[in-house]
Amino acid sequence: MLEYIFIFLVGILVGGINGMAGGASVISYPLLLATGMSPVSAAMTNALGVTPANFFALISVRHKMREYLHTYKKLIVISVVGSTTGAIMLLTVPPGVFEKMVPFLLLGASLTFLIKPKPVRGQHFERAEEIGIAASGLYCGYFGPGQGVMVIAVLARDSRRDPQSLNTAKNFIVGWTSLVSNIIYIFSGKAIWPMVIALLLGSSIGGTYGGRYAATMSPGIYRALILTVGFGASAWLFKKYYLG
């Protein structure tokens, strides 16, 4: 019982950070591993539990949903195709291979946020953005934690987007992308549902308040929050899988 309460509290933290910035599911993933889950089950349980945070974070900007859907519908479709492919890969790739890839996937997601925004570059820029979003969708379906960081890093290449609009777009794209891959996870039989529910309840609460606070967050704190979480969890996973 205590571990479910703990996961619920972790869910509030993760939901809050995901609502404000993204990437915090790198916190819940290793904690789920620590309960004895296999890496694949932990990845699926984590994804199912934290996805609602992205939607609850949109409550504060619900009046702009139609505008965001119109602006980002193409990127959402591209990301969903990628996540569906990634989810199928997760179910077919041997677990041992997955374990060894996880630290690198997470570190790569964190490093992408060091990319500085550049001015818009016409048609080639748009194509690069589409490829980046497709890659983040594939990553979402295959692993998940840190996808928000990757999406923000791609979208931030357009210097016209401020932190608030970036965060809202991220929640929108990640939310719909995760929703589709989660349908595959639900029917996989590998998710641990009591943990899913505990994490889901917590992340929904945290995401609601995190989305509201994101509008007042300074860019410096925003970047520091994501980088600290991403690098910290990457180091933990390298130690777990490579140093024992």
Nearest to 105 by CA among 230, 240, 242: 230
Alpha helices, DSSP H, located in 57-192: 65-92, 95-111, 122-142, 147-155, 163-186
Overall pTM surpassing 0.85 (yes/no): no
Give the DSSP H/E element, type plus range, for residue 237.
Answer: helix 219-238
CA dist., res. 112 & res. 152, Å (int) = 9
Which DSSP letter does residue 158 get? B
Q: What is the pLDDT of residue 119?
A: 57
Terminal CA-CA length for the chain: 29
Phi and psi at 17, nearest 5°, equal: -70, -40
Domain boundaries, the chain: 2-243
The dihedral of CA 158, 209, 102, 195: what is its sign? negative
- What tens-digit pLDDT sequence spans the chain (244 residues)? 889 999 999 999 888 877 776 667 778 888 898 888 988 899 999 999 988 777 776 776 777 778 888 888 999 999 999 999 999 999 998 877 887 887 887 787 677 667 665 555 566 778 888 998 999 899 889 988 778 777 887 887 776 777 777 778 888 898 889 888 999 999 999 999 999 999 999 988 888 877 666 556 666 776 676 677 678 777 877 887 788 6
Of 79, 103, 97, nearest in space to 40 by CA: 97
Q: How many CB atoms lie within 10 A of CB 38?
A: 14
